[in-house]
């Protein structure tokens, strides 16, 4: 399963053609796309913060294209272990990104994002980016 990060969700509502093409290609090649409940929260917060009258409706329309996977007990345990490992390596990660990574890993998925700086450090996480070839 491919999980779409917040940056690409934002591009989708803005109708950035390169992102739309990238996501369409992933969907054709690998089946349906998902996102996490953490990404949904970030995305809706950003849409509301920008205050455009069309943003909330556009955001909800974009979200309907994705399966939403929640942060549950297994992901919470994975998050704690993973963050402790990264802290020990001196590679701290923002908490929200850690929760997203934990959900993706716990569900055997890959993440589609341009945020390769954060997600590229997570052991075992395959990162797909419209800006470069797959990492890890």
CATH code, 40: 3.40.50.1010
- Kind of pairing between the strands at 33-36 and 67-69: parallel
Domain that holds residue 24: 2-135
Strands annotated E in the chain: 2-4, 33-36, 67-69, 110-112, 127-129, 132-135
- Nearest-angstrom CA–CA distance, 110 and 76: 18
Is 60 exceeded by the pLDDT of residue 135? Answer: no
Q: How confident is the model at residue 132 (pLDDT cuts 50, 70, 90)?
A: low
pLDDT band at 97 (very low <50, low <70, confident <90, very high): very high
pLDDT at 61: 84
Q: Does pLDDT of 110 surpass 90?
A: yes
- Is the pLDDT at 114 greater than 60? The verdict is yes
Q: Contact 13/60 with Cβ under 8 angstroms?
A: no
Mean pLDDT of the chain: 89
pTM of the model: 0.89
Residue 134 — very low, low, confident or very high, per pLDDT cuts 50/70/90?
very low
Stretch 57-63: mean pLDDT:
81
pLDDT of residue 51: 60
Choice between 36 and 48, residue whose per-residue pLDDT is larger: 36
Find, among 47, 110, 122, 112, the residue nearest to 82 by Cα.
122
Q: Find the mean pLDDT for residues 99-126.
A: 95
Domain count, the chain: 1
User: Do 78 and 85 touch, CB atoms closer than 8 A?
Assistant: no
């Amino acid at each position: 399963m491919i999980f779409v990060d917040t940056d690409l969700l934002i591009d989708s509502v803005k109708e950035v053609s390169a992102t739309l093409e990238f996501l369409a290609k992933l969907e054709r090649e690998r089946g349906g796309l998902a996102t996490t409940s953490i990404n949904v929260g970030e995305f809706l917060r950003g849409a509301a913060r920008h205050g455009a009258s069309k943003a909330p409706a556009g955001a909800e329309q974009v979200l309907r294209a994705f399966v939403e996977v929640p942060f549950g007990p297994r992901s919470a345990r994975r998050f704690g272990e993973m963050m402790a490992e990264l802290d020990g390596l001196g590679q701290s990660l923002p908490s929200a990104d850690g929760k997203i990574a934990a959900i993706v890993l716990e569900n055997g998925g890959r993440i589609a994002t341009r945020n390769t700086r954060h997600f590229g450090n997570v052991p075992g996480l395959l990162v797909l980016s419209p800006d470069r070839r797959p990492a890890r």
